[in-house]
Amino acid sequence: MKGKIIFLVDMQSFYASVEKVCDNSLKDKPVIVAGDPERRSGIVLAACPIAKKYGITTAETLGSAKLKCPHVEVVRPHMQRYIDVSIVISRIMEQFTDLVEPFSIDEQFMDVTGSQKLFGNYYEIAKAVQKWILNDTGIYSRIGIGPNKILAKMACDNFAKKNKDGIFKLDQSNMDQLWKLPVGKMFGVGSKMNRHLQGMGIYSIGGLASFPKELLKKKWGINGEVLWQTANGIDYSPVTVKTHNQQKAIGHHMTLPRDYMDINDIKVVLLELCTEVARRCRAKGYMGVTVSCGIRGADFNFPTGFHRQITLPIPTNYDMDIFNAAFKLFLEFWDRQSIRSLGVTMSNLQPANNYQIDLFDNYLNREQLNVALDTIWNKYGRTAIYRASSLTSAGQANERARKIGGHYK
């Protein structure tokens, strides 16, 4: 990996920045992008720098944000708009290198190792990328630079975002700056892991880097090895355009607009989720053999729920196969208390065009039905045809069709 120059390009307050570009009246105002509190999605998704000065943070409730800044401008998310801008940004990065790997909707890796003879040194390329993105989209970007993806990511999160020019390079020559930081600042360490590490006497990233690797592996297995490597800036994964080509699982999760307690209401939503998972599997050319079902209870003070899976005898991408398996899991593990969210996932995927079928399975009829449904949905949209149960008060198909990633387009 010696000699590699990897960028992690992050868009500052991406959702909020896009909204400010689209509505100039918001330019000098504190702005947050948040969901719909009436549908229990009133969480801050993004806060502009002005709003952050009032102490508003991502993922806090809308009510809490308003208490900190009563005059804050609240904008509902427009997910299709953000996706479109993200694609434009990807195209800009591809003008500098063909090795661009999306990490999230507002973060992307770039390998510019081979681009320096064309566009100058790493700093000149970073400034050019920043300028082009700002000119074309109005979005300010920060860029972390490193010899691998993990150091580029931590350079961006911990240093570039705080630098005046929004650019910072982290490598073995200045790892001491990273090692001084609290261990909770390290990529891959959440609040729970942070508590575990502090309980072991590890308070800084440097402390983790110098901790005996074998002890970490003994406690957490391969994850212990990954923690130690991350702290030492070791990462062998290349920047690749094929990262998202092979999916390991396809799933769909929904936070319900109200607490669901009646089994018939829950069945309606569960069937809608299974139908969507099956449709996505077919769209991506997959079948799966493992169905997972998970729920979360409605009581925040006494959290309940489960996440269980079952393996099917033959691979499938048919919604009723998935539903029957998910509903079986649900009946077995549900504690009969009200729920606020549920999800279904299909894993152990394999190509749909080459698999062993069951001689006693009526596969052809299901295949013809799937083709007919997909043809209608692709031509006329997701609300062109659906089960009558979705027209009941429990159904969410119409509402969900208006959203991307749980938020309105």
**36 assigned binding-site residue:** no
- CA dist 308 and 250 (Å) reads 15
Selection from 102, 141, 111 nearest residue 18 by Cα = 141
What would the two tokens of residue 404 be? 């991307």
| Residue 107 annotated as catalytic | yes
Distances (CA, A) of 106 to 15, 69, 140, 291: 9, 25, 11, 31
Selection from 279, 272, 406 nearest residue 326 by Cα = 272
Mode of pairing for the β-strands spanning 107-111 and 305-316 = unpaired
Q: Which amino acid, one-letter code, is at 229? A: Q
**28 assigned binding-site residue:** no
Q: What is the DSSP string of 54-117?
A: TT--TTSBHHHHHHH-TTPEEE---HHHHHHHHHHHHHHHTTT-S-EEEEETTEEEEE-GGGHH
Distances (CA, A) of 315 to 61, 88, 308, 349: 41, 38, 18, 8
**Residues in the chain, how many?**
409
- CA dist 359 and 382 (Å) reads 32
Selection from 384, 392, 398 nearest residue 266 by Cα = 392
E strand spans, 175-322: 249-260, 286-297, 305-316
Among the listed residues 73, 107, 272, 276, the single catalytic one is: 107
Q: Which residues are catalytic?
A: 107
User: Residues at the annotated binding site for Mg(2+)?
Assistant: 10, 106
